[in-house]
Amino acid sequence: MHQYTLLCLGDSYTIGEGVLLHKSFPYQVVQLLRKKGLNICAPEIIAKTGWTTNELSSAIEGYSFLPKYDFVSLLIGVNNQYRGSSVEEYKTEFENLLKQAISFAHGKKDHVAVLSIPDYSTTPFAKSLEREKISKEIDLYNSVNKAVSVQYKVKYIDITQATRKSENETSLLTQDELHPSEKLYQYWAQMIVDLFVNEVKNFKANLQ
């Protein structure tokens, strides 16, 4: 029986900074897929708090991957914005990362999911920062990663709007008042699973 694999590339949002590992969105995706009858391994995660696109690329270069993965997610860019990197630089580096993500999925573009960058401007962490400027820049970065995702015909998930609700709903954040809580990651995970539901259906059909 085929055992499915999930590779998740990113930063603090992918490792689930501030929550237990099994409450991060990659692990919740696996848990949901298992409930649907999919035989899937624990997620393989290449991510670290603070990483930019360039740092993720460097980590990928020194990592030993499987020959291919059934599903791949990519969520990166908030630290580029936070550090004031140019949008042009982000576009180039993000596009290279997306090409790698597609190759990790053995060229199956519909098995690759790009998640939009969360907007941290509404969190208590950002109360002393230029919130309007942050929000506009996040939108600009997301317009870039969405355009590249459309160009390469991968799946795209807008999680940004949901993160903006954290201003009035503290249960969506961890104790650091910046990173998403288990509750918000659960929402992301369900959106990812919903996008891959056809693959799950095909798997079940093959069992009959």
Q: Burial code of 85-123, b = ≥16 C-beta within 10 A, e = fewer?
A: bebeebbebbbebbebbbebbeebeebbbbbbbbbbbbb
Rounded CA gap, 69 and 81, in Å? 29
pTM beyond 0.85, yes or no: yes
Paired with 8 in beta bridges are 45, 73
State which H helix or E strand residue 12 sits in: helix 12-15
Q: Burial code of 162-190, b = ≥16 C-beta within 10 A, e = fewer?
A: bbbebbeeeebbbeeebbbbbebbbbbbe
Beta-carbon contacts of residue 34 (< 8 Å; ≥ 6 apart): 40
Residue 168: what pLDDT?
67
Q: Are 73 and 9 in contact (CB under 8 A)?
A: yes
Residue 170: what pLDDT?
76
Domains parsed from the chain with CATH numbers: 6-201 (3.40.50.1110)
Nearest one of 82, 60, 81 to 8, comparing CA atoms: 60
Residue 165: what pLDDT?
81
Residue 208: what pLDDT?
41
State which H helix or E strand residue 35 sits in: helix 25-35
Helix (H, G, I), strand (E, B) or coil at 127: coil
Nearest one of 72, 140, 143 to 109, comparing CA atoms: 72
Rounded CA gap, 75 and 118, in Å? 9
Q: Burial code of 40-60, b = ≥16 C-beta within 10 A, e = fewer?
A: beebbbbbbeebbbbbbbeeb
pLDDT by residue for the chain (208 residues), tens only, comes to 789 999 999 999 999 999 999 999 999 999 999 998 899 999 999 999 999 999 999 999 999 999 999 999 999 999 999 999 999 999 999 999 999 999 999 999 999 999 999 999 999 999 999 999 999 999 999 999 999 999 999 999 999 998 888 666 778 999 998 999 999 999 999 999 998 876 666 655 554 4
